[in-house]
Chain A
Amino acid sequence: MSRLASLLVVLGVAGVAAFLVASALPLFASGEFFEILLGRWRPYASPGEFGIAPMIVGTILLAATATLLAAPAAIGLVAFAHGIAPRPLARLAMASVHFMTGIPTVLYGFVSVSLLVPFLRNAGAGGFSLLGAGLTLAALVLPTITLTLHSRIEATGLEVRLDCAALGMRPADTFLRVLLPRSGPGLLSATLLGFCRAAGDTVVALMVAGNAPQFPSSYLDSVRTLTAHIALVLSTDWSSPEFRSIAAAGLLLFVFNTALTAALRRLGPAEPPHVRELR
């Protein structure tokens, strides 16, 4: 049963990869692929340009913004749960983070469009923008980073905590000086995981980022991500140059995600080795 299940998963992933490569193959054959990757998106110019370079930059900037906003908050939350807060409060905090994982992304988008975007606009800080979408996506990736980091720190042996307590360290010191430094690789992989999640999200980017196919010059500019681009262009005529850019964008996202996942695996086991030695 479990073999069948894993076979199905492998077949599914292989199928997606094969489909993406097959649809991008004509682009490689005609040499168009790199033109699309490096070009700008100007369908209204004559002759039209159909490159996705602005979307690549938009995706990276947006995902990085969201991750950088969420990571410090996640560390704070885990510190709260592991050192500072009394037990019931810590449990409540982690329970709310767990709850956040279940909120559909379209709800974040909807709330953002109705509240955050008008707020930013009134504050003179853009409307549909990199900033607005970054803040929204930060809420989306916060649980991913928090829960990954939390489980890494949980995995640190009881012995370590007992040693610290025996040395007279307070829980807050234990967290700051022992637990957090030991979970360095864990923090890195939690952050990368958050980055993956942010780069892969479609709905928030589509609803809040503004979708202008430009290289942003400020945080208040409208940007388009690769995922939003695919969603916007998907229903054009199959033979159009607009539609052909989807194959390139899809393949790029897939390769990008695979590379990050491989990097995450290289970052190693769930617990740092010195913890295992202790056991």
Chain B
Amino acid sequence: MSDAVWAGLAGVLLLVAAACTRPEPAVPAEGALAAFSGLEGRIDIGGGTAHIPVMQEAARRIMTAYPRIAITIEGGGSGVGVKKVSEGLVHIGNTGRPLKNSEQEAAGLQSFAFAVDGVALCVHPDNPVASLTTAQARAIWGGSMTNWREVGGPDLAIQLYNRDEASGTREVFWEKLLAKGPIADRANVLASNGAMKVAVAHDRGALGYISIGHIDPTLKPVSLDAVEPTQENAVSGAYPVVRHLFMNTRGKPGPLVQAFINYIYSAEGAQIIQSAGYIPAPAPGGGPR
């Protein structure tokens, strides 16, 4: 190789090195972010898909203020969250359901509930049906009611959209709304909250369910026994299909991961949780937010 090329390579390396050792920002971060001062390293996060908007916004703010902290976020669902954190592949494994005893004991996991989320039935925006009773919902999902006409809608077959076997959203829906009742074999199965949104938004006959935080104008939430599925009703207890969102760590978290968890529990974290469509849960020990 010619000298010029070597010189060029060395220059690039120097630039990279300079970028890596960028000094702390001149303006110190304010508020809850100040707790990250002096910390560096990386946090790998994986698991539940409902958590992603919260994790992403928190990561964006932290990494903007502290370039030496790297945070990676991936989905995969609650099942993946438990597995990866148990095996030490991620620092924080997210789940949309409480851990089973077997899971908790096998790897010494610690859970941090940080938000309350409801699971709502949803239909295509053009569907006139705005409310179902619990009995109707169970009859439809069990397969004994198959046409929207039977619940005051158009003469159209009901297309069921279920979630995969490892989904935390599915578990809450099945346990709390269907009371572990049957689900018709013909129900389609989708692998994420996002896929559910796309499928229901394109099918006039669709009946699916989704985390309330994911509801947007492309689909229409359905009231259950005349109670609207809003986060307010979920927190007050009026809407029954409710779950907590958890972060889980293997053993006691290290200083950086602990700082991240504290940040999610801070007032600023609460604001991030709210703008993602969830209700902040109180910090463990009942401290102020």
Contacts and interface: CB of A to CB of B under 8 A. Distances in A.
Contacts of B174: 44
A127 B159 contact: yes
Contact of A233 (B76, B164, B180, B202): B164
A188 B236 CA distance: 65
Interface stretch (B54-62, B79-87, B278-286): B79-87
B203 interface: yes
A277 interface: no
Contacts of B103: 237
Contacts of A210: 188-189
B79 A235 contact: yes
Interface of A: 40-46, 54, 113, 117-118, 121, 127-128, 206, 210-214, 221-222, 224, 231-239, 242
Nearest to B76: A235
Given A212-B187, A236-B165, 19 more contacts: A41-B185, A44-B174, A44-B178, A44-B183, A117-B202, A121-B203, A210-B188, A211-B188, A213-B185, A213-B189, A214-B185, A231-B191, A232-B164, A232-B191, A233-B166, A237-B79, A237-B82, A239-B102, A242-B166
Interface string B168-180: 0000001000101
Given A43-B165, A237-B103, A239-B102, A211 B189 contact: yes
B39 interface: no
Interface string B133-167: 00000000000000000000000000100001110
Contacts of B165: 43, 232-233, 236, 242
A238 B189 contact: no
Contacts of A44: 174, 178, 180-183
A232 B159 CA distance: 20
Contacts of B77: 235
A46 B83 CA distance: 26
B202 A118 contact: yes
B180 A128 contact: no
B198 interface: yes
Contacts of B185: 40-42, 54, 212-214
Contacts of A238: 83
B100 A46 contact: no
Nearest to B83: A235
**Residue among A46, A213, A231, A237 with max Cβ neighbours from chain B (10 Å):** A237
Contacts of A46: 180
A115 to B, nearest CB: 11
Contacts of B186: 212, 214, 221-222
B79 A236 contact: yes
Q: Shortest 9 CB-CB distances between A and B: which pairs? A: A235-B79, A211-B189, A214-B185, A235-B166, A210-B188, A235-B80, A232-B164, A236-B166, A44-B183
A237 B100 contact: yes
14 contacts: A44-B180, A44-B183, A117-B202, A128-B188, A128-B199, A206-B191, A211-B188, A211-B190, A212-B187, A212-B189, A221-B186, A224-B189, A235-B166, A237-B103
Contacts of B198: 113
B188 A222 contact: yes
A53 to B, nearest CB: 12
A82 B13 CA distance: 55
Nearest to A234: B166
**Residue among A45, A54, A224, A235 with max Cβ neighbours from chain B (10 Å):** A235
Given A127-B159, A237-B103, A232 B189 contact: yes
Nearest to B206: A127
A210 B196 CA distance: 11
Interface string B64-94: 0000000000001111101100000000000
B262 to A, nearest CB: 29
Contacts of B183: 44
Contacts of A118: 202
Interface in B242-287: none
B188 A212 contact: yes
A237 B199 CA distance: 26
B163 to A, nearest CB: 9
